Amino acid sequence: MGEKIKALRERIGEVRDLGAASAVLGWDQQVNMPPGGAQGRAYALATLSKLSHQKAVSDDMGETIEKAEAEAAQLDPDSDDARLVQKAKRDYLKDRKVPNEWVGEFTHVTTLGYQVWEKAREASDFDQFKPELEKIIALRRQYAEFFAPYDHIYDPLLDDYEPGMKTADVKTVFHQLRQEQVALVQATAESGVEIDDAIIHQPFDEEAQWSFGVEVIKAIGYDFERGRQDKSVHPFTTGFNPGDVRITTRIAPKFLNPALFGSIHECGHAMYEQGVNPAYARTPLDGGASLGFHESQSRMWENMVGRSRAFWNVFYSRLQSYFPEQFGAIDMETFYRAINKVEPSLIRVEADEATYNLHIMLRFELETALMEGSLAVADLPAAWNEKSEQLLGITPPNDKLGVLQDVHWSGGMVGYFPTYALGNLIAAQLWEKILVDIPDLEKHLNTGEFHVLLDWLRTNVHVYGAKYKPMELLERITGDSLQAEPYLRYLKAKFGDVYGL
């Protein structure tokens, strides 16, 4: 490695260290922190983010990057170092546009915002959260202006989570998905097939839920030597480096899905980060290519694997042994149908695959309206309920089951939601390619050889971390740009079978 690139790595390493420290503090805030710690934590996180930002956008950093660029020009443009310098430059140019004061204030507001949201959600009272959310949306609108001119005010936010993606692209793809998904949901409703999922809505011992979940995620490949699982109000994954990638889960005492499929989902995220080339630690190549790619991993494991017959061929007898009263007399096919019942519901993270993207569209439409200024925060609960009725045909009875259900906005994450839907599409595109490369994949999954799938993902996706831009990575792997068809094909095949369409 050249001296100049080495110098850049060292300088960026410090910025990444500060990011890792913030991530630990954020994890702690959601998993451990007592109420009294909120104020001090907001200060600490604000200082960390300000310092990190100062270092990231300093003139020194600019000069270091420039010198490294000269050195990188001599290298294979696809080499790790050349890519590292490129990505460092892109990040630098973006970060430079944001004033340091904004960074500190945003971190402070969103750190306290999380605490307020948690209480407001518990109390199912949007008014408690409203003042915080108003501050957050105002800050987010300010943020977008730093990147003016833009095609759409939502673009700069989206780009943070899904580099290169535009609001217009999302609208196009959502338009295509919406028609077909609504038609599919309608077809299932009119199919005459009634699925009773009462068996997954009954009391399940919480410790047994925890233990079964741990057994499952160990079996599919989560490495507890380089991670851990805890409980939190809103499940999430956070990686400090490839050697320490943590997940959380939430156990519902009377519903099997949240802990089980939540754990598998987060495990999908975590295995992605555990699989990144360890040499990328403390560089901008660490972490995933984008949140869309991240969600492709989490939703692939949760749904394409976790809600498949193959998976339950392996695990159903284990589930029965954890919950003999609930499942001892139930055959696997009945269980399989119960966990794949299509029915519009209120909570995104508990939604079935056929309706899931509709939850995302709802949020995307509200977020873009908030950013455009055509929707006021005060009118958000009503707008939420109205959209819910339009898209899902149901109206939440209260804020907890509606507008307050997700953690994202409290942490300032506006522009994040579309990546869940993009993740579904990417997952389906990857899946079709995997089936070309491993034609007998189902045989392997049927016998619990999940490592065959994980190895493919490791080799083709995980190891590259953020080396490639997401759409570039997708094209390298599948030879194609982002497409809705593979996901629609997947949905139609799966639910066509379940509902006899």
Cβ proximity to a second copy: between 115 and 355 the closer is 115
Site for a second copy in 9-38 (CB under 8 A): 13-14, 17-18, 20-22, 24-25, 28, 32-38
Nearest distance from residue 18's CB to a second copy, in Å? Answer: 7
Cβ proximity to a second copy: between 241 and 424 the closer is 241
* 479's tokens: 């030879």
Q: Is 266 a catalytic residue?
A: yes
* Look-up of token digits 């995980």: 462
Cα–Cα distance, 277 to 189 (Å, whole number): 46
223 lines the binding site for a second copy (CB under 8 A):
yes
Cα–Cα distance, 102 to 98 (Å, whole number): 7
Q: Across the beta sheet with 244-249, what order do the strands follow?
A: 229-231, 244-249, 237-241
Nearest distance from residue 33's CB to a second copy, in Å? Answer: 6
Cβ proximity to a second copy: between 286 and 367 the closer is 286
**Active-site residue identified among 71, 162, 266, 367:** 266
Cβ proximity to a second copy: between 102 and 150 the closer is 102
Q: Strand, helix or coil at 93?
A: helix
Cα–Cα distance, 411 to 118 (Å, whole number): 11
Nearest distance from residue 20's CB to a second copy, in Å? Answer: 5
Output Rg (C-alpha) for the chain, integer angstroms.
22
Cβ proximity to a second copy: between 240 and 409 the closer is 240
* Look-up of token digits 């630690």: 281
Backbone φ and ψ of 58, nearest 5°: -65, 155
Site for a second copy in 105-134 (CB under 8 A): none
Among 226, 318, 348, 494, binds a second copy (CB under 8 A): 226
- Cβ 296 vs Cβ 430: under 8 Å: yes
Among 126, 129, 222, 240, binds a second copy (CB under 8 A): 240
Interface characters, 241-280, with a second copy (x: CB under 8 A): xxxx------------------------------------
Q: Which residues contact 436 (CB under 8 A, 6 or more apart)?
A: none
Closest CA to 118 of 238, 234, 275, 22: 234
Which one of the spans 59-67, 221-229, 318-326, 427-435 is the region binding a second copy (CB under 8 A)? Answer: 221-229
Q: What is the DSSP string of 200-245?
A: GSS---HHHHHHHHHHHHHHHT--GGG--EEE-SS--EEEEETTEE
Among 208, 252, 281, 452, binds a second copy (CB under 8 A): 281
**How many beta carbons lie within 10 A of that of residue 273, not counting itself?**
25
Catalytic sites, residue numbers: 266
Site for a second copy, rule CB under 8 A: 13-14, 17-18, 20-22, 24-25, 28, 32-41, 43-44, 46-48, 51, 223-228, 240-244, 281-282
